[in-house]
A and B are shown apart, each in its own frame.
Chain A
């Protein structure tokens, strides 16, 4: 891989003097460089390591892999891990497949690679936080995109309350806070240490909130149980609050909307990351929230809130419940 780049650079130095190239020469070299990289991808091997999951959850991984396949043109090998799989199984498979790059899906698989000290580039996906610092995409929806969806559906929302873990990566939420502030609105972030405090904070937020204020339920350490969800749904109904999350099942229960990953398109983005890893391109930031998102909306709740969903907005909705 490095060798090819060096050869191209050497020829370029011979023809371009003092950094000035004829435009056609530059075009020729760009073509050469790209075709060399395309050749590298075609000749390379990708190992996708993904966990066994019962239906319908297995479709998440099938869709991600379908998306990856549409972007990655080399040979794809698959390794499905079960709860019994360990480092030995993976090493054995690495010996056989000899991949040039690895796509690790799921928190357990990514954590396993953290212990293996491999000299192969790794891309991580289908997990919330990345413990090994490799490039990848989180299943955490991009908070700025979530705020945009909220204001699309409920333009009168002035304040949003969210509860997050003390230990969570807060940079993404701060981006959303700045985005809201630029619009003259507020995103109030409560940081808590445990799930019990999270439940209390959500209850306090729902008591303090006014009509059309938003309450954003995050997954992970601060996720709420069904009993708290029931209380929040009742309060939201009584006070016209906008309750939302990233789980379409919550929309079935009565939250206004959920923004969740579009797995196939997220797979395409992961495929592009794999290609970048192969050609040694620097990826910054290395681990990003998912930007390919779908929107589920509860029409019953939207009518209760009196929200006007125009035809254009409804075209943006992937799932109406």
Chain B
């Protein structure tokens, strides 16, 4: 099977701004091309299944309109130890136009062997090569690599591409991996899955991650699972290589983040039309990559600085109340601790609830109401702001399917009670850049037309 994809996006704004200062003018365009070729034969022989895939991805971002990192008339974040501006006033704003072009090649093959009694064995290996093959930047701050002097904040933009003053060097990374997994049906109703994955990265070395899962089919309508797993997240090119950026600097000595998690999960279907899933979990997340403020106070450098632990539970239910009414609900509670500070971890909600009711009230017509409660989000313990408010968002949708064959029409009313819902912004020194958090859209009415080919 072959998949080919191409995506071109133009005139994209910068959202909150690249440096958390609103920028109504900055625009970027993006181009993405990908293909993958998959061979999948579950019945290669009676006992062997094989799956192989090669893929290619090319992504590029080009700045169409200058990124104004900090607005005209400001001094930017460049202050000396006495709090005085380093470069003076930027009459056109602090401008930086970073452009990145990446290529990623992947190949992997997985074999599944069912020939041993009570065992299902899977072995896989793969190779990855990724490179940032081109980076470009123009800017009006920092050093001019051509003169060795400071760039004039009021002067023209200076191209720092292919110099040490560019925000990110061209870079590459190779990764090879090997994994083995065995599903062992060691007794009727009991299954033990164990696996281990070895990864070698050309830039930061090796990592080995095991996982194990014990599954018990306790009743015809109940399954209980106990799981343990280790995982990692490799540092990104930016986290390792970002440089000459006024706000964030990379660190080539970074290690991967690691996660160890434990989970017990119960799936129960008391009657045919009701499914309940409950799980409790705990985790330890180590070597978290964070951009830690430097002693200069004006920039932050990526470091394996954080450690977070947490535990909690999740509950989900799906109920087909009648042939035409479906109800889905879930709730989650978690308690996470920033171990370095021994304080509650910031930003993610401690409690969350979701409820959705879908009613097919006529053939091809459906009405849908959903509510999402987000509760108890902590601030960073260093953040001086008061706690952020909880919110409930309620959305309504009316949908007509099968219109003229392949058309579908929908009317969507979002946030129907016009709740003032906000997502937290990060803390900053000495104060957060965006102190009043980010407002989510108020009441809105949307129309949608879909056509299926």
Residues of A within 8 A of B (CB): 54-55, 226, 229-230, 233-234, 236-237, 253-254, 300-301, 303-306, 308, 310-312, 314-315
Contacts and interface: CB of A to CB of B under 8 A. Distances in A.
B289 to A, nearest CB: 40
Contacts of B189: 303-304
Contacts of B272: 226, 229-230, 253
Given A303-B191, A304-B188, A311 B220 contact: no
A233 B191 CA distance: 21
B46 interface: yes
A311 B47 contact: yes
B106 to A, nearest CB: 28
Contacts, number: 49
A103 B191 CA distance: 50
The interface residues of chain B, by DSSP majority, are classed as: loop
Given A226-B271, A305-B188, A315 B43 contact: yes
The interface residues of chain A, by DSSP majority, are classed as: helix
Contact of A303 (B188, B363, B402): B188
Given A300-B223, A301-B220, 14 more contacts: A54-B363, A226-B271, A226-B272, A230-B271, A233-B221, A236-B220, A237-B220, A300-B217, A303-B191, A304-B217, A310-B46, A311-B45, A312-B46, A315-B43
B155 interface: no
A250 to B, nearest CB: 10
Contacts of A301: 220
Contacts of B271: 226, 230
A106 to B, nearest CB: 17
Interface in B187-207: 188-189, 191
A54 B403 CA distance: 12
Contacts of B217: 300, 303-304
A314 B114 contact: yes
Across the A-B interface, give the 9 residue pairs with the lowest CB-CB distance, nearest first.
Answer: A237-B220, A311-B46, A311-B47, A226-B272, A306-B188, A312-B46, A315-B43, A233-B220, A311-B114
Contacts of B223: 300
A295 B47 CA distance: 19
A226 B114 CA distance: 35
A54 B117 CA distance: 44
Interface string B357-400: 00000011000000000000000000000000000000000000
Contacts of B220: 233-234, 236-237, 254, 301, 304
Contacts of A306: 188
A311 B402 contact: no
A25 B45 CA distance: 48
Contacts of A253: 272
B163 to A, nearest CB: 58
B190 to A, nearest CB: 9
B363 A237 contact: no
Interface in B203-217: 217
A132 B43 CA distance: 43
Nearest to A314: B114
Contacts of A308: 117
B46 A303 contact: no
Contacts of A234: 219-221
Contacts of B441: none
B402 A55 contact: yes
Contacts of B221: 233-234, 254
Interface string B149-189: 00000000000000000000000000000000000010011
A305 B217 CA distance: 12
B176 to A, nearest CB: 30
Contacts of B401: 55
B72 interface: no
A303 B47 contact: no
B23 to A, nearest CB: 45
Contacts of B48: 311
25 contacts: A54-B363, A54-B364, A55-B402, A226-B272, A226-B273, A229-B272, A233-B220, A234-B220, A236-B220, A237-B220, A254-B220, A300-B223, A303-B188, A303-B191, A304-B220, A308-B117, A310-B46, A311-B45, A311-B46, A311-B47, A311-B115, A312-B46, A314-B114, A315-B43, A315-B46
Contacts of B43: 311, 315
Contacts of A233: 220-221
Nearest to B43: A315
A253 B185 CA distance: 21
A253 B271 CA distance: 10
B343 to A, nearest CB: 44
A269 to B, nearest CB: 25
Contacts of B45: 311
Contacts of B47: 311
A64 to B, nearest CB: 19
A234 B272 CA distance: 12
Contacts of B364: 54
B138 to A, nearest CB: 53
Contacts of B117: 308
B386 to A, nearest CB: 50
Nearest to A83: B363
Contacts of A229: 272
Interface in B38-67: 43, 45-48
A310 B107 CA distance: 30
A161 B43 CA distance: 34
A234 B188 CA distance: 16
Contacts of B188: 303-306
Contacts of A230: 271-272
B273 to A, nearest CB: 7
A217 B220 CA distance: 18
B188 to A, nearest CB: 5
Contacts of B46: 310-312, 315
Nearest to A301: B220
Q: Which of B220, B273, B401, B402 has the most CB of A within 10 A?
A: B220
